[in-house]
Every structure is written in structure tokens, then in C-alpha cells.
Amino acid sequence: MTLNRRLAAKAARLLPEHKPPGSPGLILEAALKLFAERGYAAASVREIAAASGLKPATIYGHYPSKEHILAELCRVGHEEQNRSVRAAVLNSGADPRDQIVAYVRAHVGMHTSFPMLAVVANAELHVLSAELGAATFSLREQSERLLGEIIQRGLDRGVFHVPNAWLAVAAIGGMGLRVAYWYSPEYRLEPHEVADVYAEYALRILAVKTDPSAGL
């Protein structure tokens, strides 16, 4: 029977610095795959234990609850996204056009590099309590604010033209999020190609003229 997958990626991936050694790392990786493919609600602690080769009691020895596992994955995912976009923008110069291209390339790049992590961090975030989700919500707000600031600078300088700045943030950020669902290394598109095209789409959303010297 063919699994009705909700995303194209088949491998769970965490950066070494995001995967703690020993059992905690095995638990995170197993939970990531189950949460991504089935959804948080459909994956039990017993299944996470079986997938990680551990006993359920061992899971609770490292994470007090299933929600704590999800909280860590959401935090890690948003931390990587926030780190990526901030570094990219800092290295892009002062022109809002260059900054938006850098932001979108990094944003999309994170979602092609860690699709399962991105899906879980975004699609399951609503499950978290205010306490367990605090760190993640803060990181998400920081990333959205950075994108909003770039767009506002472009509007103030007359190089971006949109009727509503917040809707532009939602549109550009949202289209990047969806990449995690359909992208797979099996596609004949390299990650940088996807990122470049999405950066072009962002410029079109913002009504940026190809020639900066042209009349606005």
C-alpha cells in the first residue's frame, strides 16, 4: 500500500549541533520523522520509542512529555531559520532589494535543506502551550519583524510598491514555507535554483523594477 504522504521528503535531518548525543538525539530524530509524516497527534510516545530503538520509559527520562519533544524540534527549526536569514541579510549590504533577495534565498534554503524540520516547526507549532512555545514564538516574531523592516525600508526609499506591507510579509514568508512540503532531492532542481526563483518572485510581489535607474 502506498503511503499518502503529506510531504515529499523521506529523510529526517538535523544539524549535528541540533542533535544531542546518545538517546536524546535518537529520540529527536525519530520523533521528527513521525511528526512530519503523520502529524504530532497521530504519533505516540510508544511509536517514537520503537523508532528510536528505546523503551518508552527512556523517552520520559529525557523528555517529560511528547509536547516537550515537539517544543525542542520547533525551537531548533525556528532557530536555524532565524540564524540563516539574519546572517544572509547582514552580508547583503544596505540596499533593500539586495536584502530581500538574501532573506528569501536563506529562507527557502532552510526549507529545502531541512524540509521535515520545517514542516514540523511550522505545522505543529499551534500545539504548544504558551510556556513551552515561548522561545519558538519569539524567534518567529524576530524573523517576521526582520522581513517587515526590509520591506518597509524599500517602501520608504520608493523601490518597493505594495498596497499593504504586512500582506507582503505574509505572502513572501508563506510561499517559502510551502517549499518544505513539495521539495525533494529527487527533483531535477538544485536547492539554489529554487531559492533564486523564489527571490525573483519576491521582487515581483514587491513590484521592483529590473533597472534601478528606471523611473518609478
What is the domain range of residue 56? 16-62
Q: At what angle do helices 96-113 and 165-182 cross, to 10 degrees?
A: 30
pTM of the predicted protein model: 0.91
Q: Is the same domain home to 158 and 197?
A: yes
Q: Is the same domain home to 80 and 154?
A: yes
Digit-coded pLDDT (tens) for 96-120: 999 999 999 999 999 999 999 999 9
Digit-coded pLDDT (tens) for 49-85: 999 999 999 999 999 999 999 999 999 999 999 999 9
Q: Cα–Cα distance between 109 and 101 in angstroms, integer?
A: 12
**Cβ(162)–Cβ(96) under 8 Å?**
no
Q: Could you tell me which of 91, 96, 216 has the C-alpha nearest to residue 148?
A: 96
* Count of domains forming the chain: 2
Residue 211: its pLDDT value, please?
Answer: 52
**Cβ(183)–Cβ(115) under 8 Å?**
yes
Residue 17: its pLDDT value, please?
Answer: 85
Q: Is the same domain home to 170 and 84?
A: yes
Digit-coded pLDDT (tens) for 151-191: 999 999 999 999 999 999 999 999 999 999 999 877 788 99
Q: Is the same domain home to 108 and 27?
A: no
Residue 10: inside a domain, yes or no?
A: no
Q: To the nearest whole number, what is the mean pLDDT of the chain?
A: 92
Q: Looking at the predicted structure, is the pLDDT value of residue 19 above 80?
A: yes
Q: Is the same domain home to 46 and 28?
A: yes
